[in-house]
Structure 1
Amino acid sequence: MKTLRTQASRTRRVAIAAAGTAAVVALSGCGAGGAAPESEGGADTLTVVVEGGGKAELQPIADLYKEETGTEVTLVELPYAGLYDRISSELQSGSPSFDVAALDAIWLTSFAPGLAPLDDLFTEDVQADLFDGLVTEAKAGESFVGMPVWTNSEVLFYRTDLFEDEQNKADFEAEYGYPLAAPTTWEQYADAAEFFTRDTDGDGEIDLYGTDVKGAVETEWLATVSQAGEEHMILDAETGEVTIDNAAHKEALDYYVSLLPYAPSGAAQLDWAGSQNLFYQGNLAMMRFWGHAYRQTPADSPVKDAIGVAPMIGGPGGVAGVPGAWYLSVPAAGRKQEAAKDFVGFAYEHNDLAADTSLGLVARKSAFESKAGEEGFENYTALVDTLEAPQTLPRPATAEWQEIVDSVLIPTLQKAVEPGADTAALLAAAKSQIEAIVQ
């Protein structure tokens, strides 16, 4: 892909000038105005704002960019909420202090009016080396506004010491009628979760659970919705129809809460960090979790050398995860758009450099493939298989998505994981709340 940056450099002077002006005009309708100041640093510097873990992913790319071009790339690291607030306020002001921003996929639609089109970077070859969901997500309206720099998905983590134990294998097959293995379906996952929920030390208290159930985060349930075969997660972004109360969403929620007997108590408050801790401490036989966690197992974890990873499980609609991608975007009001776009193209070309970082996440198919069979990257096969599954669908492209998550989806899940919850009534109420937000 040597020609990507040179081709972009040749065409951007004409194409971006017009498109960028249109984006600035659109943003001015939201209260923006005035001329953009020079971003932080001089002519031979670029400022990139990025969320915590993303700095490590981008640092080797920034270092190589300086070596090859002489341009210093300063990575400004901010907490997740702080990054959102800074980008939002500066795009609305029309005076961004940054040249490039790393954006969570769910922010792209909200920020799109203030972002420069990147259409000239998205050649056929580029699109062919990205998962379909990433290409779809990168586009807002008629233009691409972000280049994926890394992606993620939940996959299945399981205890190999438990699944490969000969007594467990014999007992499981005798009870369920088929061999014990990493589950691939809802039914197999529920069977394994039930089987491994037990009192291991004989004190009368369960100390090993088959799985967890997360009530304080929405993404795992959304993956279950896609596994149920639903094509329009929560709402149809094109028609505006809210779909959260249809049969597939209810089937997914019913399955999700059916796992509660095999999970620790306190599901309503369980989030990603809590789930990781339970698994790393040896309290879970399985968890569905973001693929990057494979490289983050603490050295003192009792399960450090007993972790297997497999594609996300599948329901009636098949295997499905939710892509968790981050994109590099350029502010339309920025003064260094040409240099900024050059860096975005460079980051795509050298995406494989991020594989050896702490998170070990990349975006290009070829970057994933480059680590095939390499020790420490066993999670890549599971990630690719999940990301390539036809039902792995992006979240709805709506500017109100974060509000929907915070004010409707998470509260609904937290109520759903309480004893005796009426899932149909909860989803009906959620539909009314979402309709009030999007209409």
Structure 2
Amino acid sequence: MKLFSSKKWIAAALTSVLVLSACSSNDEGSSSDSEGGGDGDQVTLNTVFLGASWGEAARELAKEYEEETGVKVNVELVGRDAIYQRLALSIAGEADYDLFNVDYNWIPEFAAADRLLPLDDLIAENNVDLDGYLPRALALAQWDGNNGSFGEGGTTYGLPQTIHPHLLWYRADLFNDEALKAEFQAEYGYELLPPQTMEQFEDAAAFFHGKEVEGTTLSGWAAQGSKGFGNVHTWLSFVYSNGGDVIDWDKMESSLTTPEVVEATQTWVDLLEYSPGGINEYTFAEVAADASAGRLAMAIHWSWSSFEVDDASLSQTVGDWEFTQIPTMETSAPHLAGWVNVIPRTSKNPEEAFKFLAWLQNEDNDVAQALMGAGDPVRTASYTNEELTGAMIEGTETERFRRYEPLEGAMESAMARPFFPQEEKWESVVSEYLSAVQVGQMTVEEALEQADEAVNNMLDN
């Protein structure tokens, strides 16, 4: 495994953020005043969170923190791209921010450029125990400087706030329907059960696809398929579960034409036959909408998103969905998503920012965030906490957090996106070729050969 030491890449990263900050300098709300933390001064922390449920939870909890400590925490809720822009402004010295909620794949990028504050000393000084975190959740916040080193420890650059690996979602009401079970048994020769293998998944997808249930025509399954990032995120769960990897980290060469990756890609593409029309444009939102409307029999989707199908104001399928680990190929290794809170080196209040960061992710608040509908917990103890395990969907006898058992299992084998500074650019490159396969412009072999070449060119420049 090669140590990341490319001065050329670090220089490029620094140039990109400086250019971005210049282009974004007129962005309304991108700059905030930060009061100093001198003796007798009130400390004000300026923070940026994703405008998702966990960002909203952080904003609510920040009010409690101010009541407890007197430290005011301003929380901006913005989109993913806007977070990156504000972080760029901050590290360029053009805005005063103390804490950012970031997609974990940015950590190697900004850590390589020495723009994130290493937290190990503050962790020790404040007696923060990291042992309570799910190991793979904590690993999202650590990097040892080596490309592809997810899960191998290293410097801690943040604390995870939420994780959401891919799970297999399935309509329990359909899988338990006696007439459908008898029909499936007659056609396939075995009992209709939640798929454990990819072969069983294909059979179930084919069986349900096009079937009409209570006036609704079903699709066999859905997942994100849009060009940009969505198709890559779904495809990675197939690649990892087939024992593949996308880069040979020892040689730092693309490995998209290995038999494992080719087979996984072909399997994914073939299964799209049983997905909704327009699947190649599906983002997170379309998958959740179809699941809520009862138009799907199954989905491969983020664990956390299940809150949408259990919200009576949004969903016609409240309580109908159950969850299990994604189907096995060589193994079951779902793609892991997650968000981490980090402190930029330019923070004027790093010690106070860390205290808030550690408080936000303590045991009580990990549970509190889950109850508030934020992302899935990052601490092991939360998964057996009675407040969570005993919570029911309002007006039902269905467990609100019934996904937690398969989620814990998924977190034993979940794998991150390629853990290296150029990951975001890598996704953009690969997504183009996956999209070409999806729309029939290339065969799997043609696309992966060209993607290999394009990725290697990217790695060399």
Does residue 212 (structure 1) correspond to residue 212 (structure 2)? The answer is: no
| 2:325 matched residue in structure 1 | 311
Is 1:45–1:71's contact at 8 Å kept on the other side of the alignment?
yes
Distance across 2 between alignment mates of 1:259 and 1:119:
45
Post-superposition offset of 1:132: 2.8
Change (3 A) 1:247 1:384: same
Structure 2, unmatched stretches of 5+, are 1-9, 19-30, 37-41, 146-153, 393-399
Give, in whole Å, the separation in 1 of the partners of 2:50 and 2:213.
Answer: 42
Could you tell me how far apart the structure 2 residues matched to 1:386 and 1:432 are?
Answer: 32
Identity %: 25
Over residues 69-107 of structure 1, what are the superposed CA-to-partner deviations in whole Å (9 max), with x where a residue is unaligned?
11111111111111111112321x135411111111111
Aligned residues: 402
Question: Does residue 393 of the first structure (1) align with residue 408 of the second (2)?
Answer: no
- Structure 1 residues 101-132: Cα deviation after superposition (integer angstroms, max 9, x where no partner): 11111111111121110113667984432233
> Which residue of the partner structure matches residue 367 of structure 2?
352
* Structure 1: stretches of 5+ with no match in the other structure: 1-25
1:327 is aligned, of 340, 346, 353, to 340
Q: Output the CA distance in 2 between the equivalents of 1:338 and 1:238.
A: 38
Of the three residues 277, 285, 309, the one matched with 1:265 is 277
The 5 A counterparts of 1:50-61 are: 50-53=49-52, 54-61=54-61
Q: Return the alpha-carbon distance in structure 1 between the equivalents of residues 283 and 412 of structure 2.
A: 26
The change in CA–CA distance for 1:62 and 1:242 in structure 2 (over 3 A counts) is same
Q: CA deviation at 1:209?
A: 1.4
Aligned-residue offset at 1:44: 2.1
Q: Helix, strand or coil: the match of 1:333?
A: coil
Equivalent position amino acid for 1:207 in 2: T
Aligned to 1:274, the other structure's residue is in SS state helix
1:66 aligns with 2:83: no
Q: CA deviation at 1:212?
A: 2.2
Distance 1:74 1:214 in 2: 33
Secondary structure of residue in 1 paired with 2:323: strand
Structure 1 residue aligned with 2:239? 225
Q: Is the 8 A contact 1:236 1:243 kept in 2?
A: yes
Tell me the distance in 2 between the aligned counterparts of 1:386 and 1:412: 28
Residue number in structure 2 paired with 1:30: 14
Paired with 2:264 and 2:158, the residues of 1 have a C-alpha distance of 31
1:152 is displaced (CA, Å) by 0.9
Distance in 1, Cα, partners of 2:66 & 2:339: 22
8 A Cα contact 1:208 1:283, kept in partner? yes
Q: Which moved more, 1:146-155 or 1:211-220?
A: 211-220
Per the alignment, do residues 320 and 121 of structure 1 end up closer, same or farther by CA in structure 2, a change over 3 Å counting?
farther
Distance 2:14 2:360 in 1: 31
- Structure 2 letter corresponding to 1:278: D
The aligned counterpart of 1:367 is 382
Match of 1:7 in 2: none
More helix by share: 1
Cα distance change, pair 330–80 in 1 and its aligned pair in 2 (3 A): same
Matches within 5 A, 1:39-438: 39-41=33-35, 43-53=42-52, 54-91=54-91, 93-112=92-111, 113-120=114-121, 126-140=129-143, 141=145, 142-200=154-212, 207-212=217-222, 214-216=224-226, 217=230, 218-230=232-244, 232=245, 234-237=246-249, 239-297=251-309, 298-299=311-312, 301-316=315-330, 318-349=331-362, 350-370=365-385, 371-375=388-392, 376-389=400-413, 392-406=414-428, 408-419=429-440, 421-438=442-459
Name the SS of the counterpart of 1:151 in structure 2.
strand
Contact 2:205 2:221 in 1 (8 A): yes
Q: How far off its partner does 1:387 sit?
A: 1.3
Which amino acid is the alignment partner of residue 301 of structure 1? S
Aligned partner letter, 1:362: P
Shift of 1:352: 2.1
SS at match of 1:184: coil
Gap change, CA 1:153 and 1:201, over 3 Å in 2: closer
DSSP 3-state at the match of 2:74: strand
Q: Is the 8 A contact 1:267 1:417 kept in 2?
A: no
Q: CA deviation at 1:436?
A: 1.3
Please, what is the CA RMSD of the aligned residues? 2.7
Equivalent residue for 1:3? none
Amino acid at match of 2:51: G
Letter of the 1:85 counterpart = Q
* Stretch moving more, 423-432 or 376-385: 376-385
**How far off its partner does 1:200 sit?**
1.8
